[in-house]
Amino acid sequence: MSTSQPNPLAARWIGSSPIRIWGLPPAERLRRTLTRVGLGDAGPWTGSPSPPALLLLLGDHVYDDALVAALTKAPGTVVVVHGCPVAAHVPRELAEHMALALTGDAAIPEGLAQAKPDDLVATHRTKLRKRQPSFVLPVTAETARQVEDHLFAASYKGVTDAVTKYAWPRPAKSVTRWCVALGVSPNAVTLVSLVLAVLAIVLFYDAKLWAGLACAWGMTFLDTVDGKLARVTLTSSKLGDALDHGLDLIHPPIWWWAWWAGTGSQDTIALAVVLAGYVFLRLQEGFFLWRFGIEMHVWQRFDSRFRLVTARRNPILVILTVALALGEPALGFHISAAWTLLSLAVHTARILKAARTAAGQHLSSWLAA
């Protein structure tokens, strides 16, 4: 019977800082990051290395998670920022010398490759649908707020709807700070958003449309907060991700049905278009990813721009809110149906164009260019 071998790589941080970044000292942030990349053997540097290889980092710096992950796969590499070493992956025999180099008390050992953060990590972040340079940031009392701002911006998806991209960042950052100060977990925020999603259904159905919209918009806002809170505090979990994504997927068509019922509309065709259109739009996106290997909305610049307004939850909520303000909630539903049909047509055209393009070349995101 085979037994698993221990990881020959361990991690040690040198120095520390009591200054908290999003509620965590830099060393604790490092420990959580290292655990997420599979390095359970992590702790402060003691000067007596025993593992065959070591990842050495500065305990008073904040590191890009992707950079740490990349460095674990780059033995013999020193990460350099502005000419100064900030992290290294070295064999046991060079660990003490490299530790002195990181604190400025020695030169970088010979034979090690020097690399800038962007040499190890691509600027295209597929999961966040954006371009983002890799980073290593020193933490001081003077830089703490800027480091927090940088981490929050880094946690934001680049390709999303217009409301999430332009309206929510500033208030979401403030609410995220409050959650950290009060010790509120991302899962707790997700549970509140679940309650608001259910209340919106009930209120829409009871024709209390303004109250329902207040709950709906509150839910969409918290849907932004919980993800950012999880990323900046490194507390995301499989359960939280499943609950968040499951809620995102299920509630929009139920909202639209409840709105339709609450307005007393008899137009079942518009209802069928909105509900079926929601399903087909998601199926189109899934098909694009399966067939071409990239998400539809990151293929070309047009696709990313159309994602700002395509008939997903927030753009439809904007239409319904404006229509209700004008005293025409039923008309808003009809406009939503028309916009859904147009979005389906645009998506279909993009799939056909991608199929023609893929016949002669591999598709890649414009963000990776």
Burial label for 6, CB within 10 Å (0-12, 13-18, 19+), is exposed
pLDDT of residue 241: 66
> What does DSSP say about strands 84-91 and 53-58: parallel, antiparallel, or unpaired?
antiparallel
In the chain the domains, ranked by start, together with CATH numbers, are 9-120 (3.90.550), 155-368 (1.20.120.1760)
pLDDT of residue 7: 64
C-alpha to C-alpha distance for 119 and 130, rounded to whole angstroms: 17
- Report the first-to-last Cα separation within the chain, whole angstroms: 47
pTM here is 0.90
Q: Are 250 and 257 in contact (CB under 8 A)?
A: no
Angle CA(22)–CA(72)–CA(121) in degrees, nearest 5?
70
Cβ neighbours for 198, distance < 8 A, ≥ 6 positions apart: none
Instruction: Identify the three-state secondary structure at position 348.
Output: helix
* pLDDT beneath 70: ranges in the chain: 1-7, 237-244
Find, among 295, 350, 30, the residue nearest to 158 by Cα.
295
> What does DSSP say about strands 9-14 and 53-58: parallel, antiparallel, or unpaired?
parallel
pLDDT of residue 240: 61
The contacts found for 205-211 with CB under 8 angstroms, 24 or more apart, are 205/258, 205/261, 205/262, 206/262, 207/262, 207/263, 207/264, 208/262, 209/259, 209/262, 209/263, 209/324, 209/329, 210/324
DSSP code of 206? Answer: T
Burial label for 81, CB within 10 Å (0-12, 13-18, 19+), is middle
Walk across the sheet containing 53-58 and list its strands.
42-44, 9-14, 53-58, 84-91, 77-81, 113-115
Q: Which amino acid is at 30?
A: L
Please write the tens of the pLDDT for every residue from 48-65: 777 899 999 999 999 999
Rg of the chain taking only CA atoms, in angstroms = 24
DSSP letter string over 119-142? Answer: HHS-SEETTTTEE----EEE--TT
> What does DSSP say about strands 61-63 and 136-138: parallel, antiparallel, or unpaired?
antiparallel
Please write the tens of the pLDDT for every residue from 77-87: 999 999 999 99
pLDDT of residue 247: 73
Per cent of the chain over pLDDT 70 is 96
